[in-house]
Structure 1
Amino acid sequence: MHPAELTILYADEAMLVLDKPAGLLSVPGRGEDKQDCLSARAQRLHPDALIVHRLDMATSGVMVLARGAAAQRALNAAFASRTVTKRYIAVVAGHLAPPAESWGVIDLPIIVDWPNRPRRIIDHQLGKPSVTRWRVLSHDTDLDTTRVELEPVTGRSHQLRVHLLAVGHGIAGDALYGSPRVQALADRLLLHACSLELPHPVTAEVMRFASSANF
């Protein structure tokens, strides 16, 4: 991808919806080599573009940016009040049996692993409440993997990666958390933000945006 390239799913005077490629930072990191990022590319086209939420560098998919401070406040409030629904597609290691109901729930508290930052861990005493809904889409018996749809109810850093790891099914290609076998399953993290549903920051109309996973 060219450094200035952006895939725009939607744009109006109040917000931008972009399709972030895997391997691109959401916001600038430390150092000259980490200045190319989704927000910087968006601001070259729309100088008023402001960050509202983030996707991990290794994660691809739908991401919304506000245009201007008023829209940013409205979108931040929507995320804080959980009126935003995010769905992800992932491929995980092993045969993950479907839940008894149509959707299963992983409810495990997460905290930063300070000696091993930026990793996160499950900590039942100090962790912040973290909830993920999940359902099985298909199994690949040859590769011994399971394709799942995920809905983070809370929005902790690395939540989906840590929760799937905690139930014994790390996300394929996860260079930070995966075992050598899990890492060898793919040359990138197989986690894609496939849809985002949220109230428009000006009209409050519920809008839904989608992007297909390329894996």
Structure 2
Amino acid sequence: MLVILHRDERFVVVDKPSGLAVHPGWADDERTAMHEVRDLLGQKVFPVHRLDRATSGVLVFALAPESARVFCEMFEEGRVEKHYLALVRGVAPEAGTIDHPIPRREGGPRVPASTSFRRVWRGDHLSLVDAEPHSGRLHQVRRHMKHISHPLIGDANYGKGALNREYRERFGLARLALHARSLGFVHPWEGKPITFEAALPEDLRAPFERIGVVI
């Protein structure tokens, strides 16, 4: 279920659950986050960035085309600070920055992309990292963690099927272990820094507790 975190006359911020596509142009789904927010507010909304269907967390929609253009520029120019929690295979480095080109969209040319990360918990064969992508590319956190040999648990595209099945059967982790925990920027109309946070959802919190992840 979608939860509204913030609404004003220019934009709305929601907490998107895993399994829900953002926009009908990015999926064949009859129901998307855009539809859900439109129905909750009773008005048209405009997507300004994307989260993968399997990713949960903070998502912004503009309430008018003019506001959408402002937000799209902010995201494109890297003026939005995004933090994701990702459970990955292996013991990741304590911190680092990954510079590796990846496409903006499926089938597109590779373009520069950068993600910083820091490890916030480690197990014997797992790590929880806080990932901060500095650009908005297709599956950026997932691709970059795979690039340094630490793919996300539950990732059907870049992870290992056998390992994903093991964590689903043993711990009930039946989704991609990626959550957009916070998003911050300078309010473009008020000039004040503002940050929005989404709590870890139950379909990650409970499996993490069983695994022993400490946040």
Q: TM-score, normalised by structure 2?
A: 0.84
Pairing of 1:53-132 with structure 2 (within 5 A): 53-99=49-95, 104-111=96-103, 118=106, 127-132=110-115
Distance 1:30 1:159, change over 3 A: closer
The answer for the alignment partner of 2:121 in structure 1 is: 138
Provide the rounded CA distance (Å) in 1 between the counterparts of 2:107 and 2:16: 22
Q: CA deviation at 1:200?
A: 2.2
For residue 132 of structure 2, the aligned residue among 123, 126, 151 is 151
Provide the rounded CA distance (Å) in 2 between the counterparts of 1:97 and 1:83: 26
Contact 1:78-1:199 at 8 Å conserved across structures = no
Pairing of 1:1-215 with structure 2 (within 5 A): 5-28=1-24, 29=26, 31=28, 34-46=29-41, 47-99=43-95, 104-111=96-103, 118=106, 127-141=110-124, 144-184=125-165, 185=167, 186-214=173-201, 215=204
Provide the rounded CA distance (Å) in 2 between the counterparts of 1:134 and 1:157: 18
Which 4+ residue blocks in structure 1 deviate beyond 4 angstroms?
Answer: 117-120
Contact 1:93-1:182 at 8 Å conserved across structures = no
Provide the rounded CA distance (Å) in 2 between the counterparts of 1:178 and 1:194: 21
Contact 1:23-1:57 at 8 Å conserved across structures = yes
Q: Indicate the structure whose relative CO is greater, using CA pairs within 8 Å and at least 6 residues apart.
A: 1
Provide the rounded CA distance (Å) in 2 between the counterparts of 1:204 and 1:23: 34
Equivalent AA in structure 1 for residue 11 of structure 2: M
Provide the rounded CA distance (Å) in 2 between the counterparts of 1:30 and 1:57: 9
Q: CA deviation at 1:181?
A: 3.6
Provide the rounded CA distance (Å) in 2 between the counterparts of 1:154 and 1:118: 16
Q: TM-score, normalised by structure 1?
A: 0.84
Deviation digits for residues 110-154 of structure 1 (CA, Å, limit 9, x no counterpart): 138xxxx9589xxxxx6210100000001122xx21000000011
Listed as ranges, the gaps of 5+ residues in structure 2 are 168-172, 205-215
- Percent of pairs with identical residues: 35
Listed as ranges, the gaps of 5+ residues in structure 1 are 121-125
For residue 75 of structure 1, give the secondary structure of its aligned residue in structure 2.
Answer: helix
Distance 1:134 1:204, change over 3 A: same
